[in-house]
Amino acid sequence: MIKVVKFGGSSLASAEQFAKAGDIVRSDEDRKYVVPSAPGKRNDKDSKVTDMLYDCYRAASRQEDIRISFNRIKERYNTIINGLGLKLSLEEEYKKIEKNLKDQIGEDYAASRGEYLNGKIMAAYLGFEFIDAAEVIFFDEKGHFLSDKTNKVLKKRLHSAEKAVIPGFYGSLPDGTIKTFSRGGSDITGSIVAKAAEAGMYENWTDVSGCMVADPRIIKNPKPIRVVTYRELRELSYMGASVLHEDAIFPVRKAGIPINIRNTNCPEAPGTLIVESTCHVPEYTITGIAGKKGFVAVNIDKDMMNSEVGFCRKALQAFEDNRISIEHMPSGIDTMTVFVQQEEFMGKEQQILSELHKLCKPDTLDLEGDLALIAVVGRGMREARGTAGRLFSALAHANINVKMIDQGSSELNIIIGVRNGDFENAIRAIYDIFVETRL
């Protein structure tokens, strides 16, 4: 089996971390292709090299002297090289990069050098071939990723390299200029490489042991999620749980390659396996809980609404015309409620209300702000009886007023709306009932 392993910035922030990553790669012959990020933070006060490169580029654009700030970047790499005892000099590379920063050849180019240099070090450290991502990952002139071309060229290139390092985060435009993905984009590179290599596994090494059932800032030491499906993960990440760049899922998902989130600082932990589908019975009825604060409910009431053809379309038009995206839309026979993000909505509030009046002629329109949405996600819910019953009685016991309930037809999730102030307690109550007491 071929494994593609991607290491995040914190896994490569120092020589010590690099050595851990090296041990991980060497301990399994299947780990043939390595995708590194740029060095991340070594501690809370430290900076990510990517941010340092952006700063340097912007300073150069203001005609400032970048010698000191560029030296700091060089220092980060030289400390890693020396700490690993490598006989590698990147002096020529540094010279070229510094000149290009001064010549302002592109912000994306500047940012990408973090991964590029780390890739050079990783390749030397492992004794693997170095493949420049600019030669195998392509974007069109508008900056859209070209998946077919990339897959074709990359597949061929990987065939000729038994073991290789491909830096994350960037590729090239048709004219050869460097283009990066959005921030955190090395995850996407890993996924693209896994697809082209026809890998059996895409390992994504980071600094946590995978996804947790709930946010550790709310639940102390939450249980890890062992297996999660892509669809469950989408539901959870849409609600704010993030372990992976969103776009990293698509290339491997289509190819049926599982992703394993692992912890570089705790390689013995199995981490979280993200799969297309599974018969692995989840440990608890629910797979995970995630949520977000800051929503407004726009309640629209009108007698006989259900028999008025086109009513929903007209109501939604008021939001669309004002470019407001809709989060949820529970409805009753004579009412519909539209949940939107408070921050987006606030500036356009009166405009939207007056349009709703004009378009829908409602009996009443009212708003309720400062609401939070919580998604309780789990493929196991379909099989379990009484999930909703337990959920709501737990919330009632915790004295939490549920303002909205929405269960998708897939029975993969139940979304509930509560007051912002009840958000944390609601998550605790749900976690308690399903995970701690395992009801």
CB of 185 to ligand ASP, least distance (A): 5
Nearest to 418 by CA among 339, 301, 300, 353: 339
> Is 7 one of the binding residues for ligand ASP (CB under 6 A)?
no
The contact mask relative to ligand ASP for 187-226 (x = CB under 6 A, - = no) is x---------------------------------------
By CB under 6 A, the residues from 393 to 412 that bind ligand ASP are none
DSSP secondary structure string for all residues of 84-97: TT-----HHHHHHH
Would you say 184 or 378 has its CB closer to ligand ASP? 184
Please identify which residue in 185, 258, 271, 291 interacts with ligand ASP, judged by CB under 6 A: 185
Distance separating alpha carbons of residues 68 and 270, to the nearest angstrom: 43
Cβ atoms 303, 363 nearer than 8 A = yes
* Alpha-helical regions (H) of 133-229: 147-159, 186-196
For the CA atoms of the chain, what is the radius of gyration? 25
CB of 237 to ligand ASP, least distance (A): 16
By CB under 6 A, the residues from 104 to 143 that bind ligand ASP are 114
By CB under 6 A, the residues from 273 to 332 that bind ligand ASP are none
Q: What letter does residue 172 receive in the DSSP assignment?
A: E
The structure tokens listed for 86 are 């490598």
Q: Of all residues in this chain, which one has the CB nearest to ligand ASP in the complex?
A: 186
> Is 184 one of the binding residues for ligand ASP (CB under 6 A)?
yes
Please identify which residue in 4, 15, 38, 131 interacts with ligand ASP, judged by CB under 6 A: 38
Please identify which residue in 10, 11, 14, 50 interacts with ligand ASP, judged by CB under 6 A: 50
Burial level of 168, CB count in 10 A (0-12/13-18/19+)?
buried
The vertex-24 CA angle with 223 and 3, nearest 5°, equals 85
3-state secondary structure of 375: strand
Please identify which residue in 168, 224, 282, 380 interacts with ligand ASP, judged by CB under 6 A: 168
> Is 37 one of the binding residues for ligand ASP (CB under 6 A)?
yes
Residues 133, 135, 139, 145: is their CA dihedral positive or negative?
negative
Please identify which residue in 48, 120, 179, 379 interacts with ligand ASP, judged by CB under 6 A: 48
Interface residues toward ligand ASP, by CB under 6 A = 9, 37-38, 48, 50, 114, 168-169, 183-187
